Amino acid sequence: MSLTVILPKNEYSEKLKEILSPLLPAGSTLLDPVEGLTGLEGQKLLFAVALDESGCSLDYYRMLSALRRPGGGLLSGCTGAAIVTGVGELYTKDVARDLVLAANFAGCAFIGRPLVEATGSLRNFRVQAQIHGTDERHAFQLAMEELIARLLYWPAPPKVQKLLALHASVRSTSNTLALWELVKAGLSREIEVRELCLRNNTVADCNGCAYTTCLHFGEQGGCFYGGPMVEEVFPAVRDCDALVMLCANYNDALAANLTAFVNRLTALFRQGRFYDKRLYGLVVSGYSGGDLLARQLISSLNMNKSFYLPAHFCMLETANEKGSLVKLPGIAQRAAAFGRSIGA
């Protein structure tokens, strides 16, 4: 098996190439995206981006521009992962989120935990180095080796049979839930759907237990603080094949209860990874900024909590007044098509 490594060039990319090359399987291809992103359909892609002192890379931004152009099919059928390195301590994860969102909307799926990012000091590998009994540089290399192996041998996730939809909205006034109803119309009848509302103090936020406490309760599938999160939400997450986050965008951020869900999910994450569960999102904004929430879903649930990110994972719409969502031109057709894509 081989990979296609997409490596935008700058003064630091050669060093990243030197580190990566010995880790790649025989037959892998190094591609300079400036030469074009064509003929990549169906391939395993490893994006490798080296940032300069300002946290930028001009060739990377040219690639990002190509990925963001309308059409959305440059990377159809591809599965990807990413490595981002920096000279300073900032922007590596920010660049990675932008990259994954753009590539995903261009047709590329991403494995759970698809990112290895290294700041200039490598201090973000201190804990991993302690776990492995080595130094930060070797821990970085081990992380890249593990990522490449998972990408190479990543199995297709199982067919969606059970879908869990989470929201924190009021049904009578919510454009987000109105969109969900339209999406449901396109779902296969074979998919069992469960909806949970996280309003009315049903989910207290994470209180930051000591690692050993969280690990102890997580290994038992629970959490020290218990409540509906442990009694109802955790079992539903364990049981589902796909998670749909229904996100109303009021302040360019996930609602507090949805954020609390992500934070509390750490306890369940310690029991096992979510590699075989797909992540989808529906985001409705009153004005603009839906892509900001899509990035939050990527960084928190795909990059951090290890959910698989299918191609075109998120549907973004803009609707302000009550009931205006269902009046958008072509919305029923777009929503039904998104529903049909779930688990396809």
d(CA 122, CA 167): 37
d(CA 19, CA 141): 8
Phi, psi of 232 (to 5 degrees): -125, -45
- The pLDDT assigned to 203 comes to 55
* Low-confidence residues of the chain: pLDDT under 70: 72, 200-228
> Which region holds residue 337: left if phi is over 0, alpha if psi is between -120 and 50, else beta?
alpha
- The pLDDT assigned to 5 comes to 98
- The domains found in the chain, sorted by start residue, are 4-152 (3.40.50.360), 162-341 (3.40.50.360)
- The pLDDT assigned to 170 comes to 85
d(CA 164, CA 203): 16
- The pLDDT assigned to 234 comes to 93
* Cα-to-chain-centroid distance, residue 344: 18
- The pLDDT assigned to 202 comes to 54
Three-state secondary structure call for residue 239: helix
Element (H, E) at 102: helix 92-105
- The pLDDT assigned to 270 comes to 85
Are the C-beta atoms of residues 310 and 276 closer than 8 Å to each other? Answer: no
Tens digit of pLDDT for each residue in 87-134? 999 999 999 999 999 999 999 999 999 999 999 999 999 999 999 999
- The pLDDT assigned to 215 comes to 43
Contacts of residue 144, defined as CB under 8 A and 6 or more positions apart, other chains included, come to 19, 20, 23, 83, 116
Candidates 252, 278, 256; CA nearest to 198 is: 256
Candidates 244, 252, 248, 220; CA nearest to 234 is: 220
**How close are the terminal C-alpha atoms of the chain, in Å?**
24
* Residue type at position 271: Q
- The pLDDT assigned to 209 comes to 42
The answer to whether the pTM exceeds 0.95 is no
